[in-house]
Structure formats: structure tokens, C-alpha cells
Amino acid sequence: MWGLMLALAAIPTQAAPSEVDTLVVCPSPLMSTMSRWIEYRSGQGRHVTMAQSPATSSELKSVVKREAAAHPRLRWVVLVGDAGSGEFQTPTHIVEAKVNVHFGSEPEIATDNPTADLDGDGVPDVAIGRLPADSPEDLSRMIEKIIRYERPTLGAWKRQVNFVAGVGGFGFVDAIIETVTKRFLTDGIPPEFCTTMTYGSWKSVYCPSPPSFHAATVERLNEGSLFWVYIGHGHRYQLDRIRVPGAHHHILDIRDMDKLAARNGASIAIMLACYTGAFDSPRDCIAEEMVRAEGGPVAALAGSRVTMPYAMSVLGNGLLEEYFVNKRETLGELFLHAKRGLAADADSAGAGPLAKNRQLLDMLARAVSPKPELVAAERMEHISLFNLIGDPLLQVRQPNALRLAAPPEHRAGDKLTLSGECDSPGQLRVELVCARDQQRFKSPSRGPYVESKLAMREFDRTYVLANDCQWTFGEQQHKGGKFELNLDVPRECRGQCFLRVFVDGERHAMGATPIFIKAAPRPVTASLAD
């Protein structure tokens, strides 16, 4: 009792009921540590109230509903502690599985969604996330990582989205999934953002040497990125393995956490895979371990049981729309609205490129799903399956706007002038890049798989080239306002391209404009008569 009273005394004065927008539910041994987070968020203008973790999930739901009724402006719920047993526990819900049981899942799903569902319709009403601390030291580390993430920093990682993908193993459906994923990357992510792909099919140009696939995965985490996205099979404590004729190779598991050392900015991990977010397991799952690791992601969105390609693709499409189009302020709100989109049908999706992707997904699901009558129920079930391991108030970085002017066409080999305007000062970089569905080199044809040093060097060389879309670039210091920069367009450049600009400052800015590069004229060769 005395310990609880001392912990409560360490927490900043709580807000008036009419102002409260955030509820923290926390075990008493972690309350004094959580006061650091409350003080930080209060300094940003959030109004926080706190409740002690109850013993059961039904009591937890009652606590949140009571607090929501008392605080009509409540927007975020932060659960602190592990979902398992012990003194650092905040319980989670176990709900019945109805669709994924047809595909090998357990009959029950661990989920925090009912806590955020205030009206009982299965759809969340407030943004919710969990800081899965097993100790005060865990919680302190996560809080400091959150604060560090939100500080103004320099670095191109703020415009980077890194994809790591395994092979689905669904036969012809794999080709459909790969096609739709490529369309997502082309249509869903604006051209001013940089993307990389690390793909676990040894026949793909995006596959590094299979024995070093693990190292490439870790590097994509450590170099920093806005989002680090894993698509593929997953397990409670590891990601899938990459398979080649006669062997298989490691991708990532919980034993690798000491290798995670984000050099620039910690990523937000999106894990479109089974089990990676099974946060009710006796041992902490890989999403929890990654978020707790000092150099790991600052947050993770992950599934707690068997997840399915169609509903995950709809969720992924929704996440793209909520960040790139609707520009949500916090990660919790981004995830909340993407989940709410799972409950809606394709007809209510609008008319933009991402809406067309959603319509395509629904059409494919009805055509190839073994149980097409369950596609709507599958989407609803994934509202429960996916949970946020991290802070729902995490501020999602959005760039400042940047205006560009350039000719719609240009000839290779000629000098190109680009002008624009941007209020953000910093190092300005202009890049001429090919479109994402194109490459700057001729893809090699691969014969039988041979794990020789020469073959592995060729894998790595091709992987680097496949992820390098830049024809040329220019840089200059920008003080804010108008700018102009000249680029020498290489003679070998041609086809649909983009000019993209990134201003690296405390408040970064980005922009892009399409440009078609016509082939350079052939050099005139003098005749013998001359």
C-alpha cells in the first residue's frame, strides 16, 4: 500500500475531467516509472489520467468504459505491462476465432481491441496501444526511446520505407499477391519517398545472397526508416526462413535483439504476418522483444494468431491511406482508422488510387479465396488479430510541403533546370530517379541455384542495383524560400522518371514531380567520303 501511495505521489497532477484525452492503465509497481511519460506528454498539451491495472480483462473493459463516460474527450488508451501473469501485468482479452480456425489457427485470439471498443460493435472507438514492460527498466528504456524518436533530427531515413518479404507458399496466389504488392508500392507510396525491397525468393533480383539475407534484414532495420514492413510467414519468436534448393537460411528471431542498433532513427515496424504479435505467449513474442530492444523499432503493429493475405492486404492499404493521404497525427489514430476501414466495404472507399487497390483486393478475394463467403468476417476478425505494441500517442513524422517546377519532358544528355520553393531550411538534395516499376539495369537470368562465392557476390551486386533507382543527383544548402538547381542528365537515362527533392532539416520537406526522359540522339558518324 505504501509503495502504491508513493508511486501515485510521483505522478504529475491529473487533468480536469472535461479536458482529459488520454487514459493510462498501469500496474502499481510501474506507476512511478510511467510518471516520466506522463510529464513528457503533458508538456505537449495532452491531458492524462491514470488507473491501476485490474485483475481481469472484463474489469479492464469496465474501467475504460467508466473513464470514457467521465471524460468525453478521451482519444487514447495506453496499457502498460505484460499481458501474462505477474506483478507487471495488465490483462488482455481472449475472443473466439471464427475464420482463421479454418486455416489452422487456435480457437481463441488474444486482443486489446475490446478495451477500445466502447459501444460493443467490434470496431475500436479510441486509439489503443500497449507498452509491454516486464520491469521498470524495460518501461524506462521504451519511454526514453519514444522521447528520442520525437526529437527533431537530421537524416534521410525519414523518407525511407523498407520492405522485407518472405515467400508465401500459396502457389499461383503468390504471383497475385506479388503483383498487388508492387501496385501498392507504386500507387500507395508517393514518389518523393524512397523504398527498398528485400525479398526471400532466390529467383528475384531483390534477393541478396541467401546466406546473408539475415544480415540484410538487420541492416534495413539499423539504417533507419520511417516504416520497416515485413510481409510473409511468421512465428511467435521468429520470422520465416528463406529457402533455397537443399538448404534454408535464417531471417530474424528473438536471439538477434542485441544486433539491433538503429544508427539514425528507430523504425515503426509493420509485421503483416502470423503470430509475430502473440503478446499473450508465456515467453515474449518477437514484436515485444523488438520494441523493448534498445536499438529496435519504436513501435510494432503485429498479428497475434494466424493471419490471412486478403485481410492483411486491406489493412496494409488502409495504413498507406491513413499516413500518406489522411496524414494522421499519431500512430494510434493511424492504426485506429486503418482498422475501422477493415469493417467497411470497398464501395465506401472513395475514388483515389488506394480506393482502387481496395476494390481490386475485394475482387481478387472473391475469386481466389477458398471461402469467399467469409471475406467480410475475415476482415472483422483481423481487427482483433492486429494490435499496437507501442505508444498510441507516438507522433508520426509528416514532411513539410515543397513546390516544384520542371519540364514534363527532357532529353537525355542535356542539362536540366529544376526550380521550386520551400520554407524549410537545410541541406537540399535533388534526385532524378526511375519509376518504381522500372529498373536502371537489365535483370540477369538465373539458372540453377549454386551457393558459390562468385554466385553469392552476383546476388549481392544485383540486390544493390535493384534497389538503386537514382540516375543522378545534386545538392546545395537551402536557407528557405525559392531555389534553383541544374542537373546533367546521363545519356543512358530514359523512360518514365521522377524528380524528387528532400530538404534535410529539423523540419524536413519533400516533393516530387514526374518527368519523361527521351533518348539522347545518336552521335553522327563521319563518312569515309568526308
pLDDT at 68: 97
Q: What is the pLDDT of residue 521?
A: 84
Closest CA to 317 of 354, 348, 366: 354
- What CA–CA distance (Å, rounded) separates 115 from 78? 10
The reported pLDDT for the residue numbered 12 is: 46
d(C-alpha 185, C-alpha 170), whole Å:
21
Long-range contacts: 63-66, Cβ < 8 Å, 24+?
A: 63/25, 64/23, 64/25, 64/115, 64/116, 64/118, 65/118
> What is residue 349's predicted lDDT score, i.e. its pLDDT?
61
3-state secondary structure 473-513: EEEEEECCEEEEEEEECCCCCCEEEEEEEEEECCCCEEEEE
Amino acid residing at 396: V
The count of C-alpha atoms lying within 13 angstroms of the C-alpha of 94, restricted to the half-sphere facing its C-beta, is 9
CA separation for the pair 115, 124 (Å, rounded):
8
Distance of alpha carbon 32 from alpha carbon 29, whole angstroms: 7
Per-residue confidence (pLDDT) for residue 78, from 0 to 100: 98
403-518 folds as Immunoglobulin-like (2.60.40)
Q: What is the pLDDT of residue 475?
A: 97
Domain range list for the chain: 2-130, 157-341+349-389, 403-518
pLDDT value for 115: 98
The per-residue DSSP string of 24-93 comes to EEE-GGGHHHHHHHHHHHHHTT--EEEEE--SSHHHHHHHHHHHHHH-TT--EEEEESBSSSSTTB---E
Look at residue 13 in the predicted model and tell me its pLDDT: 46
Nearest to 440 by CA among 486, 487, 496: 496
Which CATH number does the domain 157-341+349-389 belong to among 3.40.50.1460, 3.40.190.10, 3.30.70.980, 3.40.120.10?
3.40.50.1460
Surface-to-core class of residue 281, CB atoms within 10 Å of its CB (0-12 exposed, 13-18 middle, 19+ buried): middle
Q: Residue holding cell 516499376? A: 437
Q: Read off the C-alpha cell for 388.
A: 499496437
Same fold for the pair 2-130 and 403-518: no
Fold of 2-130: Rossmann fold (3.40.50)
Confidence at residue 530, expressed as pLDDT on a 0 to 100 scale: 47
131 vs 30: CA distance, rounded Å = 11
- Dump pLDDT digits (tens) for 187-206: 789 999 999 999 999 999 99
Grid cell for residue 317: 492499404
Rounded CA-CA distance 80/34 in Å is 8
Which pLDDT belongs to residue 184? Answer: 64
Three-state DSSP class for 136?
Answer: helix
- Going by C-alpha positions, the residue among 234, 241, 237 that lies closest to residue 282 is 237
CA pair distance 150, 507, nearest whole angstrom: 12
Q: Report pLDDT for 228.
A: 96
Q: Which residues of the chain have pLDDT under 50?
A: 1-13, 528, 530
Question: Which string of b and e fits 300-315 if b means at least 16 CB within 10 Å?
Answer: bbbbbbbbbbbbbbbb
